[in-house]
Amino acid sequence: QTIYLKDYTPFGYRIESVDLTFRLHPTATRVISKIVFAPNPEATDKRFFLHGEELELISATVNGDPITPRLVEGGLEADVPEGPFIWEAEVEISPQTNTALEGLYMSNGMYSTQCEAEGFRKITYYPDRPDVMAVFTVRVEGDLPVLLSNGNPVERGAGFAVWHDPWPKPSYLFALVAGELINHPDTFTTKSGREVELNIWVRPGDEDKCAFGMEALKKSMKWDEDTYGREYDLDIFNIVAVDDFNMGAMENKGLNIFNSSCVLTSKETSTDANFERIEGIIAHEYFHNWTGNRITCRDWFQLCLKEGLTVYRDQMFSGDMRSHAVKRIEEVMILRARQFREDNGPLAHPVRPESFVEINNFYTATVYEKGAEIIGMLRRLIGDEAYRKGCDLYFDRHDGQAVTIEDWLKAFEDATGRDLAQFKQWYSQAGTPRLKMEESWDDGTLTLTFTQSTPPTPGQSGKKPQVIPIAVGLISPNGDEVVPTTVLEMTEAQQSFTFEGLGARPVASVLRDFSAPVILEREIDNDTRAFLLAHDTDPFQKWEMGRALAKDTLMSMIVKGTKPSFAYLDAIKSVLVDDGLDPAFRALSLGLPAQDDLAQSLFDAGVTPDPQRIFEAREELRHLLSAHLREVLPALYKENETGAFVPDAEGSGKRSLRLAVLSLLSLRDEGVTARALYKRADNMTEQAGALQALLSAGLGTEELQAFEAQWKGDRLVMDKWFTMQVASAVPETAAQVAETLSRHPAFTNKNPNRFRAVFGALSANHAGFHHESGAAYRLLADQLITLDAINPQITARMSGAFETWKRYDADRQDMIRAELERILATPGLSRDTTEMVSRILAA
Ligand code: ARG
Ligand code: ZN
């Protein structure tokens, strides 16, 4: 059943208060609810329907009188009085057998919840929709030492705890946690003097892995005060780490729940990338307190209202904490790898979709990452001050409400006097705009002519011109910047911009800081790219030019069988040895485009991608780089050694450069350097980095065994062990490696992290996944069919591995189609997976 944005109607009732009692039991938890409803004067539809799934109704009363509600598809209906009334019900649920990890479930003996988007209906009968906001009081009864819920603690006693959340919230922000947990405590005093108790709750044994997360939380709280004027609003803020969790983390009011992989850290077990990501996720969930919780979404079509904005906020936070240049490059890599990929295939959808079957399938790169890009464009167009003014107005106007994208944009229209009607198309039009640029030069005047067009996407053929902010700078032939960054505002299908009074013809640096999520098409030769790589003042464009050189080199190697030019190799070398540049930036410049990215570019150029050929070309280039750079690698390796491990921008930058160098070095020294580092490493960044360098040189068998022996007791580190093997497997063995690992005693498909560690890695191993035997397609389909009965959300998400199938040759397409049809034919296949696989097949 498809749900449409245009069909929105408000619920017929308001909720004045919610009282819940939980009597916890692994297989027979009782949930007793008392809800005071009153008619909603703004609603015309007075049907009293409460969502409910997988609930056993024990009893129900209205104003104390027992009633027999009509059980209907997805919930119940009842006849209720015209005025305010009290609804009471008791239901029974079974957390222990809840392997979908949605609603109330058990993970390693502890109780936990995940209610976004529609999990609360698996806890009790309720209007489980974000526009119904209510004040909750929750009593948790259970024979466990720690009993948590949202809001402030009211009462604690033997075997129970009562929590009250004074802030009205939708049911998706409800949370409950119970178990044997230990806290890492701290405090934070808000700008206006509120003392807040902070805790990170973990299972015994993990209490020494909370310090970094706690610092990240305090920095986030401070940053939101300083940057957005937003303070925390309860006496307590709890974070809990849970091992079995579908996503990264969840912003439940006052009780954030995290996948343990997204909060626990130690230098021995976490890499620099883990530290950086965790800092960002803690910030993200905390920032939701205002962008998501205090102001929430009217309906799930507005998901980007909270997610795009909150991603944008966490990106800016990370930039402030670390390096904006490095962060921006990383963001663009992710955007291109996930969102552009999505936009180019059968799953393309607008940032604000117009319909869905299962909302969990729309927690996508488009909603999150492109949603964040839209906020960035808005800010670039109106300026920092107006952006802050608009945000302030939005917070003032809508605090306590469930609102829409229209409300968000209206705040900016009112704050700036600007018409955002055309800009709004970014929310409704799917697909990545292609931005073509032509240049002409005439006697001191440079004219840049841009033409925009967006290819059709499923259900959307005719695309309209969008508002595109194009950040441009000009560099003179001697390398000086003659025109600093200027934002051109493109609104037409074709538009020209001129720069007058120039001396010599400058080189244009276009789409600086990646000012819009578009694909820039521009006639540019490799000499010009090398020139910009050397002279551009914009770090993103500087990196982009190196990346374009590498891509062009690889594309010609693949298509024409040419050898890389010395110009390219030398350009990369000069960046690498330029110690005026940030080591993190140099490491990023040494990276090659991903195989999946090359496959898409080949397809766009009209060439059917051959995954094996792409893999070989990339390997060949790694070897050539390693040879060309042989004289500088050892010195770089030495120079970038860090002292005591500190997971900050500086230390991690040096380590990333050093490990990128090590990976090339290992192709030449039979792994001597990497093996030495592996033995000596006192931190996971270097230990895993050394092991990866060995594996990508076809070495490391012994170290792999040693790694397992050392870390078999640590789930999160073992996930890395699983992933590394699948990721580094050569194309012809990748499926076999994954299959063997799926029979390892430590493998389980009940833990999403572990499943992803193996099968997420398999689908990310481009040449392995697309090996001509079709073995990986079959294996993944087998696994997804089994997993669907256990965890539909993860199954549906992982089926996205097939979304690019139309790029490939007829044999591969036939094999993939057969697997997709086989999945779809599975009796009882979930709604989640059915929707995803059908959309992919419809391509
Ligand atoms: N709101 C969470 C976050 O981005 C994500 C929760 C998604 N959950 C889901 N079942 N789709 O921070
Ligand atoms: Zn979020």
Look at residue 723 in the predicted model and tell me its pLDDT: 99
Q: Could you write out the three-class secondary structure of 511-576? A: CHHHCCCCEEEECCCHHHHHHHHHHCCCHHHHHHHHHHHHHHHHHHHHHHCCCCCHHHHHHHHHHH
Atom of ligand 1 nearest to the CA of 285: 12
Nearest ligand by distance to the CA of 172 = 1
What is the rounded distance in angstroms from the CA atom of residue 22 to the CA atom of residue 161? 10
Between the CA of 295 and the centroid of ligand 2 the distance, in Å, is: 13
Look at residue 476 in the predicted model and tell me its pLDDT: 98
Say if residue 565's pLDDT is above 90: no
What is the rounded distance in angstroms from the CA atom of residue 298 to the CA atom of residue 130? 6
Say if residue 626's pLDDT is above 90: yes
Pocket test for ligand 1, best of 247, 304, 369 (most atoms within 8 A of CB): 247
Look at residue 566 in the predicted model and tell me its pLDDT: 87
Task: Copy the structure tokens of residue 612.
Answer: 């094996």
CB atoms under 10 Å from CB of 499, counted, come to 17
Considering the chain, what is the average pLDDT of its residues? 98
Start-to-end CA span in the chain (Å): 20
**Residue of minimum CA distance from atom 2 in ligand 1:** 250
Between the CA of 705 and the centroid of ligand 1 the distance, in Å, is: 36
% the chain with pLDDT above 90: 100
Residue labelled with tokens 């959309």:
839
Q: Is 424 helix (H, G, I), strand (E, B) or coil?
A: coil
Following DSSP, what letter does each residue of 432-488 receive, concatenated?
PPEEEEEEEEETTEEEEEEEEE---BTTB--PPP--EEEEEEEE-TTS-EEEEEEEE
Nearest ligand by distance to the CA of 308 = 2
Atom of ligand 1 nearest to the CA of 288: 12
% the chain with pLDDT above 70: 100
The letter for the amino acid at 44 is T
* Ligand 1 proximity of 360 Cβ (cutoff 6 Å): yes
**Residue of minimum CA distance from atom 5 in ligand 1:** 250
Q: Is 387 helix (H, G, I), strand (E, B) or coil?
A: helix
Closest CA to 180 of 259, 234, 108, 238: 108
Atom of ligand 1 nearest to the CA of 292: 1
Catalytic residue among 102, 118, 285, 544: 285
Closest CA to 662 of 705, 625, 694: 694
* Ligand 1 proximity of 116 Cβ (cutoff 6 Å): yes
Look at residue 76 in the predicted model and tell me its pLDDT: 98
Task: Copy the structure tokens of residue 299.
Answer: 């309906």
Say if residue 124's pLDDT is above 90: yes
Q: Is 272 helix (H, G, I), strand (E, B) or coil?
A: helix
Closest CA to 647 of 179, 280, 100, 174: 280
Say if residue 685's pLDDT is above 90: yes
Between the CA of 28 and the centroid of ligand 2 the distance, in Å, is: 31
Cβ burial, residue 746 (10 Å; 0-12/13-18/19+):
middle
Between the CA of 117 and the centroid of ligand 1 the distance, in Å, is: 7
What is the rounded distance in angstroms from the CA atom of residue 808 to the CA atom of residue 824? 21
Nearest ligand by distance to the CA of 258 = 1
* Ligand 1 proximity of 307 Cβ (cutoff 6 Å): yes
Residue labelled with tokens 């990986």:
776
Look at residue 228 in the predicted model and tell me its pLDDT: 99
* Ligand 1 proximity of 249 Cβ (cutoff 6 Å): yes
What is the rounded distance in angstroms from the CA atom of residue 538 to the CA atom of residue 534? 11
Q: 149, 285 in Cβ contact below 8 A?
A: no
Between the CA of 565 and the centroid of ligand 2 the distance, in Å, is: 44
Tell me the per-residue pLDDT of 744-765, one tens digit each, with 9 for 90 and over.
999 999 999 999 999 999 999 9
The letter for the amino acid at 350 is P
Look at residue 436 in the predicted model and tell me its pLDDT: 98
* Ligand 1 proximity of 358 Cβ (cutoff 6 Å): no
Between the CA of 310 and the centroid of ligand 2 the distance, in Å, is: 6
What is the rounded distance in angstroms from the CA atom of residue 558 to the CA atom of residue 773? 21
* Ligand 1 proximity of 363 Cβ (cutoff 6 Å): yes
Q: Give the pairing of strands 160-169 and 152-157.
A: antiparallel
How large is the average pLDDT for residues 674-699?
Answer: 98
Between the CA of 174 and the centroid of ligand 2 the distance, in Å, is: 15
What is the CA angle 287-289-293, rounded to 5?
A: 130
* Ligand 1 proximity of 250 Cβ (cutoff 6 Å): yes
Following DSSP, what letter does each residue of 198-231 receive, concatenated?
EEEEE-TT-GGG-HHHHHHHHHHHHHHHHHH---
Look at residue 834 in the predicted model and tell me its pLDDT: 98
Half-sphere exposure at residue 216, Cβ-oriented, CA atoms within 13 angstroms: 31
Nearest ligand by distance to the CA of 249 = 1
Atom of ligand 1 nearest to the CA of 793: 10
What is the rounded distance in angstroms from the CA atom of residue 233 to the CA atom of residue 196? 9
Following DSSP, what letter does each residue of 68-133 receive, concatenated?
-PEEETTEEE----SS-EEEEEEEEE-GGG-TT--EEEEETTEEEEE-TTTTGGGTSSB--STT--
Check if 835 is active-site.
no
Atom of ligand 1 nearest to the CA of 119: 10
What is the rounded distance in angstroms from the CA atom of residue 141 to the CA atom of residue 163? 12
Atom of ligand 1 nearest to the CA of 359: 11
Say if residue 188's pLDDT is above 90: yes
* Ligand 1 proximity of 251 Cβ (cutoff 6 Å): yes
Tell me the per-residue pLDDT of 42-89, one tens digit each, with 9 for 90 and over.
999 999 999 999 999 999 999 999 999 999 999 999 999 999 999 999
Looking at residue 134, what DSSP letter applies?
Answer: E
Between the CA of 249 and the centroid of ligand 1 the distance, in Å, is: 7
Say if residue 727's pLDDT is above 90: yes
Band (pLDDT 50/70/90 cuts) for residue 567 is confident
Atom of ligand 1 nearest to the CA of 249: 12
* Ligand 1 proximity of 610 Cβ (cutoff 6 Å): no
Say if residue 302's pLDDT is above 90: yes
Between the CA of 303 and the centroid of ligand 2 the distance, in Å, is: 9
Between the CA of 172 and the centroid of ligand 1 the distance, in Å, is: 10
What is the rounded distance in angstroms from the CA atom of residue 115 to the CA atom of residue 136? 15
What is the rounded distance in angstroms from the CA atom of residue 794 to the CA atom of residue 361? 10
Closest CA to 265 of 215, 326, 322: 215
Say if residue 676's pLDDT is above 90: yes
What is the rounded distance in angstroms from the CA atom of residue 219 to the CA atom of residue 223? 6
* Ligand 1 proximity of 117 Cβ (cutoff 6 Å): yes
Tell me the per-residue pLDDT of 258-297, one tens digit each, with 9 for 90 and over.
999 999 999 999 999 999 999 999 999 999 999 999 999 9
Nearest ligand by distance to the CA of 248 = 1
Atom of ligand 1 nearest to the CA of 284: 12
What is the rounded distance in angstroms from the CA atom of residue 823 to the CA atom of residue 360? 19
* Ligand 1 proximity of 285 Cβ (cutoff 6 Å): yes
Q: Give the pairing of strands 160-169 and 134-141.
A: antiparallel
**Residue of minimum CA distance from atom 11 in ligand 1:** 360
**Residue of minimum CA distance from atom 8 in ligand 1:** 116
Pocket test for ligand 1, best of 173, 250, 281, 359 (most atoms within 8 A of CB): 250
What is the rounded distance in angstroms from the CA atom of residue 208 to the CA atom of residue 766? 37
Band (pLDDT 50/70/90 cuts) for residue 843 is confident
